Amino acid sequence: MTAAGALTADLEAGRYEAAALRLLAGFLIALRDTAPPAREAMLTLLTREGASGSEGGRL
């Protein structure tokens, strides 16, 4: 089963925590494999105020 298939299966079965962990793991792997300038840009976007919808933009 592909990663996308596993994510879909988790969502269809109502395993939302497992699906969220799969998404987070995929993001972290992509972040690890990204070139340093792009990685810095992604982190800046994620941590700027209002980006996460929470107070102060913190994750």
pLDDT for the residue 27:
86
Distances (CA, A) of 57 to 12, 17, 28, 36, 49: 30, 22, 18, 22, 4
pLDDT for the residue 57:
47
Each of the 59 residues of the chain gets a pLDDT tens digit; together they read 887 899 999 999 999 999 999 999 988 888 888 888 888 888 888 888 765 555 554 44
Containing structural domain, residue 29: 3-57
Q: What is the pTM of this model?
A: 0.58
Instruction: Provide the number of structural domains found in the chain.
Output: 1
